[in-house]
Amino acid sequence: MTSLSYSIIAAILLCVPNLVQAASSNYAPVAINLPAFSKECLYFDLVSHDDSLVVSYQVLAGGNFEVDFQITAPDGTEIVNEKQKKFSDFLVRSYGLGQYEFCFSNTYGTALKKIEIVLELEKGSIASEGEESPEDIIASNSIEEIDRSLLMITKTMSNLRGREHRNKSTVESTGSRLTWLSLLIMGVTVGISVLQALIIQFFFQSRSRNYV
């Protein structure tokens, strides 16, 4: 191990973040739970003017499936302020370097909301540096296009997942409404008929009292 190889390792390490970010485009949504009337904030630091953030959310479960969402720039200005939306998609370009704040508020309704979030740096397309022959450039372009299409597929499937959850919740609510309303109707039917019988009895009893 010579000092030369140490310096080579150091040079490679400095290049590694670019390699790492250029190599894989990660779209991995995670879900957080937001109790009623609470606010949850996540933060992200932007360190370079060329970076942009992929931000998207959808409400998977709870109540009317809507939340409030705000994005605050590092200097305090509010970039985005959305009220009561079911899902949304953003690409936040650099409004200045520093800490960006992403807040979800569950202000309407008493249901616990489950929100699926994607909050990542936009990884550049898998482009490479260095000289390439024309065939390689064509191949690279095709690969980039396939990559973009795959990202679109992933996003579409993510939206589908949100719709599935909403459909499932509708079906479950239909089932429970059916049960409770049926019981209510049966109770009301029996109650009304008993009441009718009693009232007719009452009328005829008082009538017979008068005439007998």
Partner 1 sequence: MLFDNFLQLIFLWLYMSSKVSGFYYYGNGGDRKCFSKELSKETLLNIQYNVQSYDENMKTYVNANNQEFDVLFDVEETFDDNHRVVSQKMVPSGLFTFLAIESGEHRFCISPQATKWMSKGKTKVTLEFLIGKDAQIDSKKKSSFQTLHNKINILNEKVLEIRREQKLIREREALFRDASESVNSSAMWWTIVQLIVLIGTCAWQMRHLRTFFVKQKVL
Per CB under 8 A, 103 contacts partner 1: no
Residues 162, 167, 172, 174, CA torsion sign: positive
Here the tokens at position 101 are: 């704040």
Which residues, at least 6 apart from 20, have a Cβ–Cβ distance to it below 8 Å?
A: none
Q: Determine the size of the site formed for partner 1 (CB under 8 A).
A: 71
Per CB under 8 A, 42 contacts partner 1: yes
Task: Pick out residues in 52-81 that bind partner 1 (CB under 8 A).
Answer: none
Task: Pick out residues in 156-195 that bind partner 1 (CB under 8 A).
Answer: 157, 160-161, 164, 167-168, 171-172, 174-175, 178-179, 182, 185-186, 189-190, 193-194
Chain CA centroid to CA 122, Å: 18
Per CB under 8 A, 32 contacts partner 1: yes
C-beta of 110: minimal distance to partner 1 in Å? 20
Per CB under 8 A, 36 contacts partner 1: no
Instruction: Give the one residue of 3, 24, 50, 210 binding partner 1; rule: CB under 8 A.
Output: 24
Per CB under 8 A, 143 contacts partner 1: yes
Buried/exposed 127-152: b ≥16 CB within 10 Å, e otherwise: eeeeeeeeeeeeeeeeeeeeeeeeee
